[in-house]
Amino acid sequence: MAQAVIGVIGGSGLYEIEGLSDVKQVEIDTPFGKPSDALITGVLDGVKMVFLPRHGRGHRLLPSEVPYRANIHAMKQLGVERIISVSAVGSMREEIVPGHIVIPDQFFDRTQGKRASTFFGEGVVGHVQFADPVCGDLSAILAQAATEVGATVHQGGTYICIEGPNFSTRAESNIYRSWGVDIIGMTNLPEARLAREAEICYATVALATDYDCWFEGHDDVSVEAVLATIKQNVATARNIIKAAAGLAAATRPCACESALQYAIMTDCTQLPDATRDRLALLLDKYL
Ligand SMILES: CSC[C@H]1O[C@H](OP(=O)(O)O)[C@H](O)[C@@H]1O
Ligand SMILES: Nc1ncnc2[nH]cnc12
């Protein structure tokens, strides 16, 4: 089997990856607009990699302004089959200490419907399965890689995705905790949905940066605190990517690559031409 191309979406504090050879900066346009920034392609220990900073270089885009569809489409155009997302998150559990790594296996949506989170619509209806929203195989590889590089890892956990950009109120934070969530962030859910529709594996390395605002006796989350934790742990995040890339590229034993096989409801002989063109990259194999 040919090696899979690995995409990395860098979050807060991760605007480049190191150690790539044969580096190229690629400007891409998509039917869904421009991605957050130019994508970087290169080779890491023999593995083809594509990197994109989610908020753009210089951190210019709000969580609700990130062009999620364009980002995932651009990765697909470059042949990416597996995406490693790197994100800063708040911890909603005492035992997830700032500096720990969480590999979430569930998401809970508290965004406000402002983000385009599907490639479907305009004449084509599809419903992908999303009960298990991340790739289990890629998640296991990330957990193994994080352990290998010496991080404290929590494998599994629920990531609640809020709209932001403000952090939560204390009442919200306490209520989220009562719902059983483990970590809180603002970005990952639209990406996971779109990656599934694009038949790309998706899994997250979440770095706990703070205790949000629920934990009496600890400072409430602030950008300053988040950045300080990221600074101390960015090398760990880079080491995890490096350790995971080879393992992730070697096999793809999951079902992510056929997520659309039974998902499309529309009689495809009736697709509007513009929709067929817009979704050609995703749907052609089924038409
Ligand atoms: C700087 S704290 C809030 C910010 O950090 C997280 O971003 P990302 O997931 O891209 O690392 C969080 O979701 C917020 O966007
Ligand atoms: N407490 C928090 N809430 C939302 N997003 C975050 N990203 C990092 N910490 C966060």
Does the annotation list 249 as a binding residue?
Answer: no
Q: How far apart are CA 240 and CA 248, in angstroms?
A: 12
Asked whether the whole model's pTM tops 0.95, one would answer yes
What is the CA(87)–ligand 1 centre distance, in A? 6
CATH code of 5-283, in short, is 3.40.50.1580
Q: Whose CA is nearest to atom 5 of ligand 2?
A: 185
Q: What is the pLDDT of residue 1?
A: 61
Model ipTM value? 0.99
Please state the φ and ψ torsions of residue 96, each to the nearest 5 degrees. -95, 95
| Helix (H) or strand (E) segment spanning residue 72 | helix 68-77
Reduced to 3 states, what is the DSSP secondary structure of residue 171?
helix
Q: How far apart are CA 231 and CA 13, in angstroms?
A: 8
Q: Is the CB of 200 under 6 A from ligand 1?
A: no
What is the CA(147)–ligand 2 centre distance, in A? 23
Does the annotation list 88 as a binding residue?
Answer: yes
Among residues 37, 105, 137, 210, which one is catalytic?
210
What is the CA(183)–ligand 1 centre distance, in A? 12
Q: How far apart are CA 5 and CA 14, in angstroms?
A: 20
Q: What is the pLDDT along the chain (287 residues), one digit of tens a residue?
A: 689 999 999 999 999 999 999 999 999 999 999 999 999 999 999 999 999 999 999 999 999 999 999 999 999 999 999 999 999 999 999 999 999 999 999 999 999 988 999 999 999 999 999 999 999 999 999 999 999 999 999 999 999 999 999 999 999 999 999 999 999 999 999 999 999 999 999 999 999 999 999 999 999 999 999 999 999 999 999 999 999 999 999 989 999 999 999 999 999 888 999 999 999 999 999 98
Q: Whose CA is nearest to atom 2 of ligand 2?
A: 90
Active site residue 212: yes
Query: Distance of CA 142 to CAs 5, 12, 116, 202, Å?
Result: 16, 19, 27, 11
Active site residue 29: no
Helix, strand, coil percentages in the chain from 3-state DSSP, rounded to 5: 30, 25, 45
* 101 DSSP β-pair partners: 153, 207
Q: How far apart are CA 52 and CA 71, in angstroms?
A: 8
Q: Contact, 14 vs 55, CB < 8 A? A: no
Does the annotation list 154 as a binding residue?
Answer: no
Q: What is the pLDDT of residue 268?
A: 87
What is the CA(87)–ligand 2 centre distance, in A? 9
Does the annotation list 87 as a binding residue?
Answer: yes
CB-side neighbour CA atoms (13 Å) of 7:
26
Q: What is the pLDDT of residue 2?
A: 81
User: What's the CA angle centered on 1, arms 252 and 131, to 5 degrees?
Assistant: 15
Residue with tokens 């934790």: 229
Please classify residue 12 by burial: count the beta carbons closer than 10 Å to its beta carbon, then call 0-12 exposed, 13-18 middle and 19+ buried: buried
Q: Whose CA is nearest to atom 6 of ligand 1?
A: 88
